[in-house]
Amino acid sequence: CDMGGLENLVANTAYLKAQAGDHKEMRRRRRSLALPKPEQCSALRFSVGNDFEALCQQQPIGKRLFRQFLRDAAVPEYLAAVEFLDELAGWELAEAGTKDKARQNIINRFCKADSNSFLTFLTGGVAERCKVVTEKDFEEVVKGQVRDATRDFLRGNPFTEYQNSPYFDKFLQWKQYEKLPINEKYFYEFRTLGKGGFGEVCAVQVKNTGQMYACKKLDKKRLKQEAGEKMALVEKQILEKINSPFLVNLAYAYDTPDHLCLVMTLMTGGDLKYHIYDVGERGIEMDRVVYYTAQIATGLLHLHTMNIVYRDMKPENVLLDSQGQCRLSDLGLAVELPNGKIICQKAGTSGYMAPEILKMEPYRMSVDWWALGCSIYEMVAGRLPFKDYKEKVQRDEVARRTFEDECKYTHKNFDALTKKIINLFLKKRIIDRLGCNGDDPRKHEWFKSINFARLEAGLIEPPWTPKPNVVYAKDTGDIRDFSEVRGNINFDAVDQKFFKVFSTGAVSIPWQQEMIDSGLFEELNDPSRVESSSALVTA
């Protein structure tokens, strides 16, 4: 009997079963949960700050409760404002066939002075323009000025009233709950999914919600021995800042006696390198290449608008989720470059590095677009522009080809438009390169089949979906174990302080989303429920 095979089978079965969700144990656990009491949350009223966007738009629970406040306030203006914003969001995501109708509906309901839902808070020029808006200036007036004015209106009195309402008290209870200390007991742990430089990545599940995540465990001793602490902290701090459907998000950061742990979006569909080389014929079909590249480009732009260069763009770092949507992962090489700042440091993977980075010339975001060009080429052809698959070649030779050679397209799947966009990403000079002159590469005609607003909202069906009962990861036995860290390593006060800085617990946006998605938000808000659990406490 093959013990390794058996072990892998057992590990896979438990992992798949957890994903399918058997929640008896979870329901039992949930009965003993309760929000902190309001009087325990008063200090938070000051520390949560006064930022309307953060409190009422970005944080999912904040957004929910603010919306509930507006709906329940019984002020027609408030209701009209919320409904207008919702309808406008719906219009932005509408497909071509229904878009005209949605626009006309918005004009009739919110822009006509005799309508019940007319936006009566509008004043001055905006109000005048709104009343006479037509389909021609709809974008400028309604999507632009009227929306801005509506948000400004909500930011005023409604926001202040909300902050003095029971809805905001409830929000503070959730914010207090969000601070709960996290340790390994918070999760069930499942099989190893992969191996990184400082430790393994395994699947975990939050006991109270059933939410699955990937947990990247960094060995504290190894970090210290190889001076990796600073890099680990940079990765964590960048991960917690970003929030995009096309980047893995960080949900928790905590530590155990031996590890620092990053709990991130679980991607069960395997990485694109695996899909290029290990599934079917080498390469990926063109419709999938366009779809993945559209998501990757949007993810890169999200990083770039936050002044972050990714520096490790390659198919291996693009992971698929269970639906077949992709996200960029492994932000270990990413670096934040405040406006105007440039860098000359060599970083990246051989075969994907742009001429400027190989020459250690100053660069910013340009290197990511070059690497994206290499990655599109690789998805189509199953090799890199300047390096054949499994070719044994010196880094210097790859660099020489990168500087001097023209990209050649011998593979049968390259069409004219695909060659065109790759050539634009592989321009040797930064100023000639697509994406490097304040232009948006997503406007290139290669992407003409993609509606990016709908793509970002997750409304475009992926061209390929992973099979639900397959584990797209190497067998557990084939993921090489780590050798023990040798030598005697002790942690001093500086190390302990670093561990503390790293271990900040739950990250607001993903944590709040998890509470909503799992139904725990509704459950703990239920007034009858609060009584029964406090009864439990006094019993």
Residues forming the active site: 312
For 104, phi and psi rounded to 5 degrees? -60, -40
What is the spatial distance between Cα 487 and Cα 313, in angstroms, rounded to a whole number? 35
Q: Residues 52, 67, 177, CA angle at the centre, nearest 5°?
A: 75
Which of 194, 324, 382, 463 forms a contact with ligand ADP (CB under 6 A)? 194
User: In the structure encoding, which two tokens stand for residue 475, read together?
Assistant: 């067998």
Residue closer to ligand ADP by CB (options 160, 345) is 345
Task: Identify the residue whose tokens are 């798949």.
Answer: 16
Residue nearest to ligand ADP (CB): 196
Q: Measure the CA–CA gap between 339 and 294, rounded to whole angstroms.
A: 25
490/230 Cα distance (integer angstroms) = 18
Q: Is 216 annotated as a binding residue?
A: yes
Give dist(CA 292, CA 374) in Å, integer: 14
Q: Which of 36, 197, 324, 463 forms a contact with ligand ADP (CB under 6 A)? A: 197
Among 19, 298, 329, 402, interactor with ligand ADP by CB under 6 A: 329
271 binds Mg ion (CB under 5 A): no
Does residue 332 bind ligand ADP (CB under 6 A)?
A: yes
Q: In angstroms, what is the minimal distance from the CB of 468 to Mg ion?
A: 26
Give the one residue of 214, 372, 376, 434 binding ligand ADP; rule: CB under 6 A: 214
Residue 471, amino acid: V
Among the listed ranges 117-125, 221-229, 329-337, 413-421, the one in contact with Mg ion (CB under 5 A) is: 329-337
Find which of ligand ADP, Mg ion, none residue 267 binds, CB within 5 to 8 Å per kind: ligand ADP
Strand partners, 216: 201, 262
> ∠367-371-377 over CA atoms, to 5°?
150
264 binds, among ligand ADP, Mg ion, none (CB under 5 to 8 A by kind): ligand ADP
Q: Which position among 62, 270, 283, 332 is part of the footprint of Mg ion (CB under 5 A)?
A: 332
Taking CB within 5 to 8 Å according to partner kind, which of ligand ADP, Mg ion, none is near residue 463? none
- Which range binds ligand ADP by CB under 6 A, 77-85, 193-201, 291-299, 335-343? 193-201
Stretch that binds Mg ion, among 169-177, 279-287, 294-302, 325-333 (CB under 5 A): 325-333
Rounded least distance, CB 329 to ligand ADP, Å: 5
Tallying the residues shown for the chain, one arrives at 539
The answer to whether 264 contacts ligand ADP (rule: CB under 6 A) is: yes
C-alpha 137: how far from chain center: 34
CB atoms within 10 A of CB 445: 9
Rounded Cα–Cα distance for residues 463 and 444 (Å): 20
Question: In sequence order, which residues have a C-beta less than 8 Å from that of residue 238 and are 6 or more positions away?
Answer: 308, 331, 334, 336
Q: How far apart are CA 267 and CA 248, in angstroms?
A: 8
Q: Confirm or reject binding of residue 216 to ligand ADP (CB under 6 A).
A: yes
Q: Does 193 bind ligand ADP (CB under 6 A)?
A: yes
Find all residues with CB under 8 Å of 246, minimum gap 6, and list them: 295, 296, 298, 299, 302, 325, 326, 327, 328, 456
Q: Please tell me the distance from the alpha carbon of residue 512 to that of residue 521, in angstroms, as a whole number.
A: 8
Pick the stretch among 181-189, 328-336, 486-494, 514-522 that binds ligand ADP (CB under 6 A): 328-336
Member of 201, 353, 399, 421 binding ligand ADP (CB under 6 A):
201
Residue 513: CB minimum distance to ligand ADP, A: 16
Interacting residues with ligand ADP (CB under 6 A): 193-198, 201, 214, 216, 248, 264-267, 319, 329-330, 332
Binding-site entries: 216
Binding-site entries for ATP: 216
